[in-house]
Amino acid sequence: MVSGNQDADAQLVERYLAGDATAFDEMMIRHQRRIYRLCYRFVENREDAMDLAQDVFIKAFEHLENFRRESSFKTWLCQIALNHCSNHVKKHSQDFVEVNEYTGSVRASAQSQLEDHEEREQFRRLLKRLPPKQKAILELRINEQLSYEEIAKISGRSVSTIKASVFFAIEKLRKLVKDASKGPEKA
Amino acid sequence: MFGHLKSEDFVNLMESSEVPAQWRRHLDSCHRCRTTWESLSAVHAEITSVDEDIPEPDWAAFRSSVRDQLFARSVQREASRRRWTRWVMRPSAVWALSVMLAVGIPTGALFWNLQKDHNTESIGLETPRTTSPAELIEAGTDKMVFDDLMQLTESEKEQLHLLLQSAQKGSSHHNEKAP
Amino acid sequence: MKRLLNAFLFLILTRGVDLSAQRPQPLKIEADILDFYVAEFHSVVKTNPDQFTKVRTVIKDYIENRFEISARRLEMLQQLRMLVQRTNSTDEEILRATSEFDKADADLQANQAKFLTTVAPLLNPRQQARVRIFQQMADRRLLQMINSARNPEGQK
């Protein structure tokens, strides 16, 4: 059974292919944030994420007539994004420097609010150190609330593999947090 | 026999509101799994509650840029097929109208829409950046090759003929040398 | 930009409009393409002379079918575009055209499967694996040559 969202996407695709210019904006608005955030997880900066996301939409619109409707438009779009970003990372692997910032040296402060803020900042920095694909999967699951079945379809892997990826991502993060808490010499 | 919990089990545990009785019994009795579960669920809770920190772009400008690039690329493609006259099954006037409808109206409408767009955010018409040749979407490669072949002009076919002849000479030379 | 659009539309409407209602000419380049694929097959799969003779016929059928199916598919795609853009198209017309297009896609897949199953008995397992590699490589090489043929600046 096709959900309401999928119906809306399917109608927008038909309208766009029929030459309805307003469908372009509607399709973009529905998916731009999701695709941008997914791309961001691979490059961790706004400019590159914007470039990648634009590439994804251009590819999608130029090949829209090849969209087979075996999956939802959202899934298809995310597939394009995942493939495009993975290829980008592979091509520019030497340009990527692992984010290794560590500023665990929070100055002693009596304000717990400041400490909480600093801890959250540190956690965010540690999150960035995960491999891009793990970050992308976490993004799709936790922020986009996609089901494991959808994520499996997007990435071309099985549900078990995706769940294992989530497990290892959280496990790695746990170790990073543990090492960070031991001090700068462990970061 | 119920062994230790697997990675998939931990993920299911983290995301479900209820713990199956069998797993609960195991967690109560297995120190290793219980420690893993407690530390993982703490991190999982942290991930799900971390503030959004991704800087967002100007969405209207973002859409404009995509729109401009699509238009620029479609004009580029049409310019390279300017003398394409062989792909015909219809009377000439209807064909010209079809091409105009298929290409001109959507791109023209996008262009007019751009000018009329008065969203709250300002629309910045960015200069279309130079794009490298688009990567193929893997699933469509086979179809696109022969689709492209069918749409070549006479002169392009001539060029392709020469390239193929040249490729043939190269490969026959190679095959002669192959063991 | 307005001038560009107008110029573009002007070009489409007035230039080289001798698009009379004629059936598409058979592709003279078909023989070239067949030779190319046969040579690529021999080179990548590494067939002996006996295998080469038998496989050539199979490749010929495969390529001829690809041309035919591609022509049909493109025609259906064009038909679909026109039907979708016309306001007076009936659902029946659109469904029929959609079905024809899907059938062409299915035929493409079937042609591919038929090719693989027909050559399989003629080849050993290692060669069968190389057939998959051959398909990817041949298509990509041909696509590169098509792009070169379209781009005059690439001709030196």
Residue A38: predicted pLDDT: 93
Same domain, A19 and A38: yes
Task: Tell if the CB–CB gap between B65 and A36 is shorter than 8 Å.
Answer: no
C134 exposure class (CB count in 10 Å sphere: 0-12, 13-18, 19+):
buried
User: What is the pLDDT of chain B when averaged over all its residues?
Assistant: 71
Q: Chains contacting B with at least 3 CB pairs below 8 Å?
A: A, C
Question: Which H, E and C letters describe A68-137, residue by residue?
Answer: CCCCCHHHHHHHHHHHHHHHHHHHCCCCCCCCCCCCCCCCCCCCHHHHHHHHHHHHHHHHHCCCHHHHHH
Residue A113: predicted pLDDT: 58
Tokens coding C34: 């067949």
Decide if C63 contacts C30 (C-beta within 8 A).
yes
Q: Is residue B118 part of a domain?
A: yes
Decide if C1 contacts B115 (C-beta within 8 A).
no
Final residue of a domain: which of A96, A115, A141?
A96
- The CATH number linked to A159 is 1.10.10.10
Same domain, A54 and A7: yes
Residue B93: predicted pLDDT: 63
Q: Which range marks the domain in which residue A68 is found?
A: 1-96
pLDDT in tens, chain C (156 residues): 655 555 445 444 444 433 333 334 445 688 889 889 988 898 888 888 888 888 888 998 899 888 888 888 888 888 888 888 777 888 888 888 888 889 888 888 899 999 999 999 989 999 999 999 988 888 888 988 888 888 755 444
Same domain, A50 and A111: no
The CA radius of gyration of chain B, in Å to the nearest whole number, is: 30
Task: Tell if the CB–CB gap between A36 and B138 is shorter than 8 Å.
Answer: no
| Amino acid identity for residue B159 in this structure | Q
Task: Tell if the CB–CB gap between A124 and B50 is shorter than 8 Å.
Answer: yes
Residue C79: predicted pLDDT: 83
> Would residue A145 be called left, alpha or beta, if left means φ above 0 and alpha means ψ between -120 and 50 degrees?
left
Task: Tell if the CB–CB gap between C85 and A65 is shorter than 8 Å.
Answer: no
Residue A81: predicted pLDDT: 94
Give the C-alpha separation, C118 to C59, whole Å: 10
Q: How many domains does chain B have?
A: 3
Residue A183: predicted pLDDT: 61
pTM above 0.80, yes or no: no
Residue A51: predicted pLDDT: 94
Instruction: Detail the DSSP E strand segments found in chain C.
Output: none
Q: How many CA atoms lie within 13 A of A71 on its CB side?
A: 17
Task: Tell if the CB–CB gap between A17 and C81 is shorter than 8 Å.
Answer: yes
Q: Which of A171, A168, A147, A170 is nearest to A159 (CA)?
A: A147
Q: Is residue B171 part of a domain?
A: no
Give the C-alpha separation, A44 to A135, whole Å: 10
- The CATH number linked to A26 is 1.10.1740.10
Task: Tell if the CB–CB gap between C145 and B75 is shorter than 8 Å.
Answer: no
Task: Tell if the CB–CB gap between B86 and C42 is shorter than 8 Å.
Answer: no
Judged against a pLDDT cut of 90, whether residue B107 lies above it is answered with no
Q: Using DSSP, state whether B2 is helix, strand or coil.
A: coil
Q: What is the dihedral of CA A172, A173, A177, A183, to 10 degrees?
A: 60
DSSP result, B69-104 = HHHHHHHHHHHHTTT-----SS-HHHHHHHHIIIII
Q: Please, which pLDDT band fits residue B120 given cuts at 50, 70 and 90? A: very low
Q: Which of residues 80-139 of C touch A (CB under 8 A)?
A: 81, 84-85
Q: Which residues of B touch C146 (CB under 8 A)?
A: 145, 148-149, 152, 156, 160
Tokens coding B29: 């009795």
Q: Which of A65, A67, A69 to mutate to test the interface with C (most CBs of C within 10 A)?
A: A65
Task: Tell if the CB–CB gap between B92 and C29 is shorter than 8 Å.
Answer: no
Residue B90: predicted pLDDT: 52
Instruction: Give the gap in angstroms from C-alpha B120 to the nearest C-alpha of chain C.
Output: 24
Interface B–C counts its CB contacts (< 8 A) at 156
Q: Is residue B2 part of a domain?
A: no
pLDDT tens column, B20-59: 888 888 888 899 888 888 888 888 888 877 766 788 899 9
Q: Using DSSP, state whether C131 is helix, strand or coil.
A: helix
Q: Which of C132, C91, C97 is nearest to C112 (CA)?
A: C132
Residue B132: predicted pLDDT: 37
Instruction: Give the gap in angstroms from C-alpha C154 to the nearest C-alpha of chain A.
Output: 24
Same domain, A106 and A172: yes
pLDDT in tens, chain A (187 residues): 446 777 888 889 988 888 887 888 899 999 999 999 999 999 988 999 999 999 999 999 999 888 877 788 999 999 999 999 988 988 876 554 444 433 333 334 334 556 677 777 788 888 888 888 888 998 899 888 889 999 998 988 888 888 888 888 888 888 888 887 776 544 4
Tokens coding B53: 């920190």
Judged against a pLDDT cut of 90, whether residue B106 lies above it is answered with no
Q: Which range marks the domain in which residue B62 is found?
A: 57-132
Taking the Cβ of residue B46 and every Cβ of chain A, the question of whether any pair is shorter than 8 Å is answered with yes
Taking the Cβ of residue A128 and every Cβ of chain B, the question of whether any pair is shorter than 8 Å is answered with no
Task: Tell if the CB–CB gap between A25 and B63 is shorter than 8 Å.
Answer: yes
Instruction: Give the gap in angstroms from C-alpha C52 to the nearest C-alpha of chain A.
Output: 35
Domains of chain C (ranges, CATH numbers): 29-143 (1.20.120.1490)
Judged against a pLDDT cut of 90, whether residue B113 lies above it is answered with no
Give the C-alpha separation, C7 to C97, whole Å: 33
From residue B148, how far is each of A158, B152, C74, C147 by CA, in Å? 35, 7, 10, 9
Same domain, A107 and A185: yes
Taking the Cβ of residue B56 and every Cβ of chain A, the question of whether any pair is shorter than 8 Å is answered with yes
Give the end-to-end CA distance of chain C in Å, rounded to a whole number.
33
Q: Which of residues 1-40 of C touch B (CB under 8 A)?
A: 1-2, 4-5, 8-9, 11-13, 15-25, 27-29, 32-33, 35-36, 39-40
ipTM over 0.85: no
Q: Is residue B178 part of a domain?
A: no
Taking the Cβ of residue A54 and every Cβ of chain B, the question of whether any pair is shorter than 8 Å is answered with yes
Residue B1: predicted pLDDT: 40
Final residue of a domain: which of A96, A123, A149?
A96
Task: Tell if the CB–CB gap between A61 and B7 is shorter than 8 Å.
Answer: no
Interface A–B counts its CB contacts (< 8 A) at 111
Give the C-alpha separation, A177 to A126, whole Å: 7
Same domain, B97 and B45: no
Instruction: Give the gap in angstroms from C-alpha A28 to the nearest C-alpha of chain C.
Output: 22
